[in-house]
Amino acid sequence: MSTKIKLMSLVGARPQFIKLAPLVKAIEVFNEGSSSTQVDHYIIHTGQHYDHGMSDIFFDELEIPHPDINLGVGSGPHGVQTGKMLEGIEKILMDEKPDMLVIFGDTNSTIAGALAAAKLHIPIAHIEAGLRSFNRKMPEEVNRIMSDHVSDLLLAPTPTAIANLKNEGLESRTISSGDIMYDTVMLNSKLAEKKSTILEKLNLEKGSYAIATCHRAENTNDPQRLTHIMNSFNKIATEHLPVVFPMHPRTKHILPNVLPDWKAAENLIILEPLGYLDMVQLIGGAKMALTDSGGLQKEAFFLECPCVTMRDETEWTETVEAGGNIITGADPEKIMNAVQHWEKMTAQGHTFTEKLQETFGEGKSADITIIEIIKFLESKEMIPA
Ligand code: UD1
């Protein structure tokens, strides 16, 4: 007779669906290969992201089963949004009594899950633990620190994340797992090449354009920073190369209020949010990426696309040290200098991914995660060893 484990994954925002996908596959493989232990996997969606383009498309493209429960929380101020999630998640955890809750990354969905499970003494595994920007003004930084400290199993993607956890006294709960987003890129970049028609649709050649995103509160909620970034995108598109800009809903809502007279330059191609395959295809073919997203900095690095990060710091310091990422903040001059630098370096055939696997693992993070979860539950005698 095999032992059954009830594992619950909690997601809510776009980057979390992308991190969940390889875990779903790893659980399938584990169940096929194990006669003694079987994992029953439940997926809870908080509904933080709800549009087709921000949510459903990722479940479809990445073949993630539809969530067992969707709380439909939607958007709102941080307290309201997180509070509604907390109430909903607590009820589910009390009803379903999972053996472990898996949380991902640094969103309001992450912290709500962490808090609800910790109070009910349900063990928590945190995927992408240990990331720090050391900027407490970022809501994500608060979410990360709080989630790490109440989690039982900390799956840290990079040596820096491991060191951060050690510095906070969390070493004994830390596992070096590699980065699960690297798994997703490895599993899907060939598929993207085959299936995505985005380059044809936009009439773009590989290596001839930049990919850009902007959605962080620190940029969108600061009129001066947003102005600098939007004007820089226009300047780059006019003076350098076409810029493809899939616009996050947050930015789309805010832009007309902050910059009512702003108009996109001819070569600034503004799109609705894209699915994963189109995005991977665009990053893989871009001459450079301009972003304030954590995930895109990594994906650009995995796909050897030089990056300009429009933030004042990054959690992914290894990408900078390796020579693949430049931190510019929202300073227009620094952004333009970085663009010129990448124009020059790409012409010289610059590469920077020699230490990719040393830093981010081998694209087997989801497999490592499942094995560590089983080991953890055995060590707590929640399942027989
Ligand atoms: C969240 C995460 C961030 C992550 C990002 C990825 C937090 C604190 N932040 O920020 O870590 O990098 O997701 O996208 O959890 N909206 C839509 N449609 C949707 C979803 C959102 O229109 O499907 C709009 C909302 O109305 C709102 C805005 O986007 O005005 C922001 O949504 P929010 O839930 O706060 O998350 P993000 O800003 O995306």
User: How does pLDDT run across 24-36, given as a tens digit for each residue?
Assistant: 999 999 999 998 9
- Told to judge if 215 belongs to the known catalytic residues of this protein, a careful annotator would answer yes
Domains 3-178+364-379 and 189-359 share a fold: yes
Region 358-377 average pLDDT: 98
| Side chain identity at residue 285, one-letter code | G
> What are the structural domain ranges in the chain?
3-178+364-379, 189-359
Q: What is the pLDDT of residue 383?
A: 81
Provide the pLDDT confidence category of residue 334 given band limits of 50, 70 and 90. Answer: very high
pLDDT at 1 over 80: no
Q: What is the value of pTM for the model shown?
A: 0.96
% of the chain beyond a pLDDT of 70: 100
Region 285-291 average pLDDT: 98
Q: Which of 41, 215, 228, 240 is catalytic?
A: 215
Q: Please tell me the distance between residue 346's alpha carbon and the centre of ligand 1 in angstroms.
A: 33
Q: What is the pLDDT of residue 227?
A: 97
Q: What is the pLDDT of residue 234?
A: 98
State whether the beta carbon of 53 lies less than 6 angstroms from ligand 1: no
Q: What is the pLDDT of residue 385?
A: 80
Region 293-298 average pLDDT: 98
157, 368 Cβ separation under 8 angstroms:
no
Region 327-343 average pLDDT: 98
Region 201-229 average pLDDT: 97
Q: Please tell me the distance between residue 209's alpha carbon and the centre of ligand 1 in angstroms.
A: 26
CATH for 3-178+364-379, options being 3.30.43.10, 3.40.630.30, 3.40.50.2000, 3.40.50.1000: 3.40.50.2000
Among 106, 107, 258, residue to substitute to test ligand 1 (most atoms within 8 Å of Cβ): 107
User: How does pLDDT run across 160-203, given as a tens digit for each residue?
Assistant: 999 999 999 999 999 999 999 999 999 999 999 999 999 999 99
Region 345-374 average pLDDT: 97
Domain 189-359 in CATH 3.40.50.2000: yes
State whether the beta carbon of 219 lies less than 6 angstroms from ligand 1: no
Residue with CA closest to ligand 1 atom 2: 107
Q: What is the pLDDT of residue 384?
A: 83
Residue whose C-alpha is closest to residue 196's, from 303, 270, 277:
277
Q: Three-state secondary structure along the chain?
A: CCEEEEEEEEECCHHHHHHHHHHHHHHHHHHHHCCCEEEEEEEEECCCCCCHHHHHHHHHHCCCCCCCEECCCCCCCHHHHHHHHHHHHHHHHHHHCCCEEEEECCCHHHHHHHHHHHHCCCCEEEECCCCCCCCCCCHHHHHHHHHHHHCCEEEECCHHHHHHHHHCCCHHHEEECCCHHHHHHHHHHHHHHHHCCHHHHHCCCCCCCEEECCCCHHHHCCHHHHHHHHHHHHHHHHHCCCEEEECCHHHHHHHHHHCCCCCCCCCEEEECCCCHHHHHHHHHHCCEEEECCHHHHHHHHHCCCCEEECCCCCCCHHHHHCCCEEECCCCHHHHHHHHHHHHHHHHCCCCCCCCHHHHHCCCCHHHHHHHHHHHHHHHCCCCCC
Q: What is the pLDDT of residue 374?
A: 97
Residue whose C-alpha is closest to residue 350's, from 306, 310, 308:
306
User: How does pLDDT run across 84-100, given as a tens digit for each residue?
Assistant: 999 999 999 999 999 99
